[in-house]
Structure 1
Amino acid sequence: MAFAAYLHDLGKLAERARIGEAMERDAQGNSVAERNKQLYCPSWDGRHTHVHAAYTAIAIDLIEKYLPPLKGVEVTPFTAWKEQGTDDSLINAAAMHHKPQTFLQWIIATADRVASGFERDAFDDYNQAVDDDNKPLNHYTRRQLTLFEQIRLNGEPVKPEDLAWRYPLAPLSVDSLFPASASEIEKAGNEAGQADYRKLWDAFRAALDNIPESHRKNWSLWLDHFDSLWAAFASAIPSATAGNTKPEVSLYDHSRTTAALATALWRYHEHDEPEKIREALRAQWDRERQHQALAEQTWTEDKFLLVMGDFFGIQSFIFSSGSETQKNAARLLRGRSAYISLLTECAALKILDELGLPPTSQVINAAGKFLIVAPNRSEVREKLAGIQNEFNQWFLQQTWGESGIGISWEPAACNDFLDRNRGDGEPPFKRLIDRLFKRLEDIKARRLDLCGDNAPAPVFEGFLDSFEKHGKGVCAIDGRSPASESLPKAKDNKYISLLALDQINTGKWVAHNDRLLVTRSNINHHTLSLNLFGYHISFTGNEDASGKFGKLAAEGDLRRVWDYSLPESRDAVLFNGYARRSINAYVPQMGEANAWEADRYEGIEEDAEWDALAPKSFEHIARDDLWLDA
């Protein structure tokens, strides 16, 4: 379901690229595109609208060989592709979102409309809108608006003529992050615009083949890779250009949100009678039945559950100190910062796995927070409570309660996603997000469930005894935990906790490698000592090293592979065949030793054993800024 919803607008890229396969004709002279328009596109005033839906079916067919198996096998909840009478195939469910008929098609169509913030009447107007190819700026030539240019501190509305910048239509790279002048990249001429899209389409198809073939046997793992691929190629494609729609939302953002909502909606109705739900969804979007009880109930029923997680105690986690903290400051700061990212990523993954949700159900993960869209069912809320308890236990054991991850959830209905108010104040979606954040603040105030029915003991049992058990004193890194491990490269006997050792190794291995693996079992491959909520983190290097784990992928042991390598050039596409995470930024390394460097770093204690791959400490970086006097 997630993948079908995710691809529902793939045809926008294919149609704007005017792919040649759509123009191929049968014996009667009818092109593939014309035949598909009859199947997938609505009609208005004697012509088909939203032609991209016809191209969605064509495009999915063209990329099928790069996807997990779809033909000849049943892919729940869809029937096998290419079999006769398969109205509910994945390809039909994806392409019929403007002309839905079956239960599954209505699920995706509803998710598409809710993700756009449409009311019933607003969608009817949009569904009748036609892209006018004769306008100087149309769906071929319009480029995506930037976000910051539209912000006004005085709250005054922004005039369209004041918006002078656009994102270039190019794959995501360092260069394409920067907007360009609209006068330079929004030029009239359909052929030039189509050529830009065709170049993007060809690059997308080529990059799709870079996802490891062995990972196609693991839908969750493969879909995480595909999400990063689509982010790289669809982040600068305007999602909507028909009618008076502002091209300010990317096709990637809309695709991911639609997939999350469709998955939650389907799971909410998973055990209901399909025909009954199909009729309810039809009534929801039927202008003639808008005042019927069935339509109103479908709009207001809390079918979704927004789940937000937040890491609290970041300052304590990053800056806790002991006698050896200063000497390892740079490595620790990098390691601890990356470790927080790993904790929040694994916390979100834990929720997804326990709830049986795909990676596309996680719509946000940034700044220590994540947001997941789940179905609002009682068993989901019960599982979330159990997961919260597991998080609490981990942080009580490893950080003694000074840090933690809290999760809150808030039910939502389709009405809550509307992007404009109905004369009663703020838009419903803003009120929904405000409620969610208030709930999260409440959870943070009751962190670790210290006042709950099953609250942990107010005093840690056996805390003092644990120092005697290991006989190695207090951790020399955090200054509070019982030490159990030797501090790497320490000249004398210095001991640290397992968490501190993992933080140091994270700071080291994140600089030496390009990818990390998340597995259920310990594979002993630059693997951290502690498991994060049941997941083991291992670091690996280049493509050859990463490719050795195909068997783990097929068995489901390999849950994620994340690429965090730096691009080799400013115009390099930020996709290397694996899901991408922004866990690592530039890490200055020692490099090869020479006489000048030896003199420059003289007296730094960490310089006793030169390691070309070791990250530089703050002291090394400070010495780099010194000038040689004449």
Structure 2
Amino acid sequence: MIRSIGREGKGAPDPFRGGSRKDQDIAMEIREALLLGALLHDIGKLYRRAFSGRIDGLPPFEGEGDPVHLRFTHRFIQSLVPERFRGCLPFALRHARPSDRLEAIVHLADRACGGVVVDDRVEGGWLRSMLAPPSEGGEGFVIPPRVRTGRKDFFPMTVVGRQAYGVLWQGLCRDLEGPAKEEAFGRYFDALVTLLEKYTATIPASVPEGGVDSLPLFDHLRSTAACADAFYRYAMEQGWTEGIVGEPLDDVVEAWWREPALSLLLVRVECDPGFSFPETDAHDARAFQKIASRHLCLDLLRESVATQVEGRLGLTRAARIWTAGEEFAWIVPNLSGIPDRIVELAGCLGRGFLRSWQGRIGFALGRGAASLEGLSRGVPRLYAQARRDLERNRLRIFAEALHGPEELHFPLGGGEEMEFSIELDRDRSGVFLRFEGDRSASGGGDFASLSLGARDGISWRSGGGEVSGAAGRLLLNTTKSERHMGIPTTFLFRPYAVPDRSPAQLAELAGVHLRGRTPVSHHLPRFALLRLEIEGVAEICAETPGTIAHRSALLGEIASFFPSLVSHVQRICLLPVAGEGYGVWVIGPWREVLDEACRIHDRWERFCGRGDLVLKGGGGIFAPETSLGAAAAVVAKRTEESARGLCFAEGEVSWENLERVIALGDRLADAVCRLGYRRLPRNFLAELNELWHRKSHPKTLPRFLHAVVRSTPDAAISRLLLEELPAFFDDALIPLLVTYTTLSTGRLRPVPAEIRREPRGRRRTE
């Protein structure tokens, strides 16, 4: 389909230059398919690592080329990509052997963003001969070793690694089934980007070599898409898209490679330190004080700025290569209208935002225009620096969110308290934990402070060793495989919280008008804290045959299980459990914590199956306005409450038994996921906690069922919940569920008058 579009759309103009509606639609379809292909062109590597034993059983499809992972990519994508976009498959899968200019764009963008550095001593005709079609005497596109910065095909191929890749692959396929049925490309594209980030953020795209840091696979995919997007738009303006199929590539590719066609756009949104958002009236002021913090509103404002930049400049979400603190960055083409539009956009943003906000929006275009050759030298290093900044911002877990009014304290014991800060150092040495008595203006002020007991300190166990202590500079050693897989040993949660208000409502209170995509990621409900621990580790080691080394490897697998599975979940913080057990404290939005706990429990049985994954007490719900220090008291009770379960309730801590709720939550989470929803219904567990002990009472069951339906506005989920619930009731209640209950527009119909109820929980029908 794309090939026919290419023939019809010769000379398709850039949207900035006008043109007919038909030409613009054709150009957008080509561009969208190009982006989709660039995003998907390496996903087959994940499948190959998960199911490496099946490689020989799959013959290559016609024209596939030698790379084996392309076979898996083809079979995976073909069943998931909507029909009208399957034309992107050829140049997504065969980018190593480009036969037309669309394929060449993906090929060059992949090489540029993968760390290919052209040696000036290479013969001038090398690029031309490398990219020429094989029929014209090309060299088969073999990049000389001196041009590569690292092996891009490196993955840790242990048994545990394959199992981990299998878990990631199955989750990716399951989550993609719903969005893949959507014909609206925009919705599908956003969902695809989110899912790829979730499942590929911990997989390396290359091994550090020659001073260039390793990139996660998702960063590589996203930067490739950004480069391909900008490059295609530049080619459109230059008229290089005419005859886009079937012509020799020599001169055009040479021009693409050498000409300064790309720039880096940096946008920084800053706020004056002493500024507070204006209060419209007393009612809104009280609501605003309770439901939103200043930093949340700043994040909403920054996201709004980024959305407007993308909308005005015709950029896509894939073109945004990173977001670090107050700064956004895009790869943009050097089109004739871009600078004027940036000036116009800056003026509009200044007039619109500065009425109710004191700060500064800075635009920096370029830092020097770059050719694709220059980009290939710079992107890996830019990304390495950006990733360090991102991780450092994540490690400043509370610095941005809780500067003034509150800070989160975790007293781990008695004695004198001292400041604790975290600093990330990725120069092949590890993560440094630094304890300080006072935060200095130069270094310590950049980091969050945690209140720690000097006597107990903090400890962490991993496959690479163990560290603990109360003072000094500590080095957390991670295993080599953990470093290659990108397994984080850091805090990932920035705990500002908002009760049930939409981002649009918060933005309206803050005087910010959101246009286009709504940043739903900032809608964080109340916190929860839950303890996940693996029991029976000693028994596992006793039953494990082999040497001490084998047992140590097993303990390493168990210790790294939690961070490897929870690392993809943003907004969730992991704290190591002190003591003899292997486990973590999970802090985050309570619905996501429970949802993730259910998924971890299910994956534990499939992933390892050894030992018992126990959800223990020691957690609760606490709102930001009641001081986040409540979490400290919860952690302090972890020993005395470890044998008791935690039941989630709205706005308060409940210490009822959670065994049945977790069992039900497991099944409900799976059922909800099958419908494409990622969270359990709101208030469902609160109602269940209140009504569970009276579920057999004849007057309680209708109320219970009504609460279930009321908490699930989607009729399909309501029906599915009622199908799942009977397994958790007595046999006598199943006929009641089937006979007395029908659903209409998400509500329960009145119970028919002819149904007689007898006292003491016995009921029958005539």
Q: TM-score, normalised by structure 1?
A: 0.51
Identity of aligned residues (%): 20
Q: Which has the higher contact order (CA 8 A, sep 6+)?
A: 1
Give the drift of 1:278: 7.9
Letter in 2 for 1:96: R
What is aligned with 1:419? 377
Deviation at 1:91, TM superposition (A): 0.9
Match of residue 615, structure 1, among 615, 624, 628: 624
The alpha carbon displacement at 1:261 in A equals 0.5
- Alpha-carbon distance in 2 for matches of 1:622, 1:337: 21
Give the deviation of 1:350 after TM superposition.
0.8
Quick check: 1:303–1:375 contact (8 Å CA) kept in 2? Answer: yes
> Is the Cα–Cα contact under 8 Å of residues 278 and 510 in structure 2 kept in the other structure?
no
Please, which of 274, 277, 283 is the counterpart of residue 250 of structure 2?
Answer: 283
Query: Given the alignment, which residue of 539, 562, 575 partners 2:521?
Result: 562
Kindly indicate whether the alpha-carbon contact (under 8 Å) linking 1:110 and 1:281 is maintained by their aligned counterparts in 2. Answer: no
| Partner in structure 1 of residue 362 of structure 2 | 406
Q: Which amino acid is the alignment partner of residue 76 of structure 2?
A: A
Deviation at 1:375, TM superposition (A): 1.6
The answer as to 2:40 corresponding to 1:56 is no
Q: Name the structure 1 match of 2:643.
A: none
- SS of the residue corresponding to residue 60 of structure 1 reads helix
For the 8 Å contact 1:40–1:95, the answer to whether it is kept is yes
Secondary structure at the counterpart of residue 302 of structure 1: coil
Match of 1:349 among 296, 302, 307: 307
| Paired position in structure 2 for 1:305 | 263
Alpha-carbon contact 1:331-1:615 (below 8 Å) kept: no
Kindly tell me: are residues 398 and 141 of structure 1, through their superposed partners in 2, closer, same or farther at Cα, counting changes over 3 Å? closer
> Alpha carbons of 1:396 and 1:274: their partners in 2 closer, same or farther (altered >3 Å)?
closer
* Among 96, 99, 104, the residue aligned to 2:97: 99
Distance apart, 1:282 and its partner CA: 4.1
**1:553 aligns to what?**
none
Q: Deviations over 1:139-177 (max 9, x none)?
A: 99844xxxxxxxxxxxxxxxxxxxxxxxxxxxxxxxxxx
- 2:218 corresponds to 1:252: yes
Question: CA separation of 1:295/1:10 partners in 2, compared to 1, >3 Å: closer, same or farther?
Answer: closer
Which residue number corresponds to residue 274 of structure 1?
A: 241
User: 1:567/1:301 Cα in 2 relative to 1: closer, same or farther (>3 Å)?
Assistant: farther
- In structure 2, the CA distance between the partners of 1:225 and 1:387, relative to structure 1 (3 Å rule), is same
Residue type of the alignment partner of 2:97? K
Q: Tell me which residue corresponds to 1:165.
A: none
Q: Deviations over 1:76-119 (max 9, x none)?
A: xxxxx4xxxxxxx2111210111111111111111101111313
Listed one character per residue, the Cα deviations across residues 374-408 of structure 1 (whole Å, up to 9, x for unaligned) are 22112222221111111111233113xx3122222
Who is 1:198 aligned against? Answer: 166
The within-5 A match list for 1:187-226 is 187=158, 193-209=161-177, 216-226=182-192
Residue type matched to 1:406 in 2? G
1:317–1:336 contact (8 Å) kept in structure 2: no
Q: 1:264 to 1:295 in 2, by over 3 A?
A: closer
1:209 CA drift (Å): 3.7
Q: Partner residue of 2:317?
A: 359
Q: Which residue of 2 aligns with 1:12?
A: 45
Q: Does 1:35 align with 2:35?
A: no
* Counterpart residue type for residue 207 of structure 1: D
Give the C-alpha shift of residue 511 in structure 1. 2.2
Contact 2:213 2:381 in 1 (8 A): no
Give the 3-state SS of the residue equivalent to 1:370 in structure 2: strand
Q: Shift in Å at residue 428 of structure 1?
A: 10
SS in 1 for 2:223: helix
Which amino acid letter does the alignment assign opposite residue 47 of structure 2?
Answer: A
CA distance in 1, matches of 2:59, 2:186: 35
Letter in structure 2 aligned against 1:348 = A
Secondary structure, aligned partner of 1:273? coil
| Partner secondary structure for residue 40 of structure 1 | coil
Would you say the 8 A contact 1:16–1:140 is kept in 2?
no
- The residue aligned with 1:166 is none
Give the distance between the partners of 2:380 and 2:167, measured in 1 at CA. Answer: 40
CA distance in 1, matches of 2:384, 2:299: 26
1:309 and 1:582 map into 2 onto residues whose CA distance is 27
CA deviations on 1:529-559 (whole Å, 9 max, x unpaired) are: 4563x526xxxxxxxxxxxxxxxxxxxx665
For the Cα contact (< 8 Å) 1:238–1:250, is it kept in 2?
Answer: yes
Q: Which runs of 5+ in 2 are unaligned?
A: 1-33, 131-138, 146-150, 387-493, 533-561, 574-585, 591-620, 637-766
Stretches of structure 1 that go unaligned for 5 or more consecutive residues are 24-30, 42-47, 65-69, 76-80, 82-88, 132-137, 144-185, 285-293, 421-426, 435-506, 519-524, 537-556, 590-611
Output the amino acid matched with 1:55.
F
| Paired residue secondary structure (2:273) | helix
The separation in 2 between residues aligned to 1:127 and 1:406, in whole angstroms, is 42
Instruction: Provide the aligned C-alpha RMSD in A.
Output: 5.1
Amino acid aligned to 1:16: R
Match of residue 378 from structure 1: 336
- 1: CA distance, partners of 2:382 / 2:517: 38
Aligned residues: 394
CA–CA distance in 1 between the matches of 2:383 and 2:567? 35
Change in 2 beyond 3 A, CA 1:307/1:281: farther
CA distance in 2, matches of 1:10, 1:564: 30
**SS of the counterpart of 1:270?**
helix
| Residues 61 and 392 (structure 1), Cα distance of their counterparts in 2 relative to 1, 3 Å cut | same
Q: Deviations over 1:35-75 (max 9, x none)?
A: 23x5222xxxxxx3x322232212211333xxxxx31x3x5
The alpha-carbon deviation at position 516 of structure 1 amounts to 4.5
Aligned partners of 1:22 and 1:58 also within 8 Å: no
Inter-CA distance 119–320: structure 2 relative to 1 (3 Å threshold): same
Q: What is the alpha-carbon distance in structure 2 between the residues aligned to residue 205 and residue 295 of structure 1? A: 36
Q: Distance in 2 between matches of 1:623 and 1:203?
A: 34
